Structure formats: structure tokens, C-alpha cells
Structure 1
Amino acid sequence: MSRKTSARHFEDNINELDNLVVQLESNQLSLEDALKAFEKGVKLSQECQLVLTQAEQKVQILLEKQDGEHLEPFDPEVNS
């Protein structure tokens, strides 16, 4: 997944999480639907956390190479 796609996917996940929270807070869902929404929210949260962790690692790489001449492209497959 490219960085642009990853960022877009992250934003979509955050928006979906917001929608799930609104649904859960409305108390209009059945218990079964609420559990499904909660489970989906946990999965989305984990995906978002992964993207944030990868971004944090990239920032660390950039800060360690402050002179800017030795910047390396961040590859989450290699740097995880």
C-alpha cells in the first residue's frame, strides 16, 4: 500500500470509527448489532494504530538523520 493510499485508508478508518461511536452512543442498536459494531471498531482501531506506529518510526528515522543528506525511504516491511 502506498503512503498516499495508507493515509487515505487511515482517514477512512477514522471516519468509520467516528460513525460507529455515534451509532453505539445512540443506543438504537440491538445487542447483537452493537457487539458487531464494537468488534469492527476494535479492528479499525488496531489498523489505525499500526499506521500511526509506522509514521512514528519514520519520524524517528528522519530525526536521526537531521542533516538531510542521508535520508532513507521508509519501508514498513523492512522497519517493523
Structure 2
Amino acid sequence: MTNFEEKLEKLEKLSENIKQSDISLEDALKNFEEGIKLAKTLEKELDKMEGKIQILMNGEETKDGKVELGLFDETTEITGTRS
């Protein structure tokens, strides 16, 4: 599976399969396990997307259309703790 929509579609199919009355307990458990793994993957992807959206929403757009993330300005002194 390559994209979010395909993964979500697969998760929906697994959910439908579990709800069928003629599914064996073993198959239902396999579908449930696969669905849980897929749901965790989707959650991670959503978190990444949300992070990107927050960066874009909080960044300032320059005249040339680029987004400045505003992480540092000229007065920010960068110091490290590593030696």
C-alpha cells in the first residue's frame, strides 16, 4: 500500500470483514490484528501531516511565496551542549 487513502480503505475492509456473521474467530482475530497495526500506521501519518500543517499555518510567507518557519531570527544565539 502506497498512500493514506489506500491504507484507510484497507482498514475499512478489515472492519467490514470482522462484522460478518460467518467469519471464523481465527480470521476475525487476524483481521483485528492487521487492523490495529494499520490504524497505528495511519495515526503516525496523520501526526506527520498535522505537524506539517502547523508549520505552514504558523510560518510567515515571504514576498516570493516561500514560508519562513520563524524558528530563529538574527538575534537568536545558537549554543550547544555537546562537546
Same fold (TM over 0.5): yes
| Aligned residue runs from structure 1 range 7-18, under 5 A | 8-18=2-12
> Which residue does 1:64 correspond to in 2?
58
1:26 aligns to 2:14 (yes or no): no
Percentage of matched positions with identical amino acids: 33
| Structure 2 stretches lacking a partner, 5+ long | 70-83
Per-residue Cα deviation, 1:9-54 (whole angstroms, up to 9, x for no partner):
2111101011111111112211111000000000010111011000
Output the TM-score relative to the length of structure 2.
0.69
Q: TM (normalized to structure 1)? A: 0.72
1:66 deviates by: 3.0
What do you get for the CA RMSD once the two structures are aligned?
1.9
Which structure exhibits the higher relative contact order, with contacts defined as CA atoms closer than 8 Å and separated by 6 or more residues? 1
- Structure 1: 4+ residue segments shifted above 6 A: none
- Residues 1:46 and 2:40 aligned together: yes
Aligned residues: 66
SS of the aligned residue for 2:37 comes to: helix
Where is the strand percentage greater, Structure 1 or Structure 2? 2
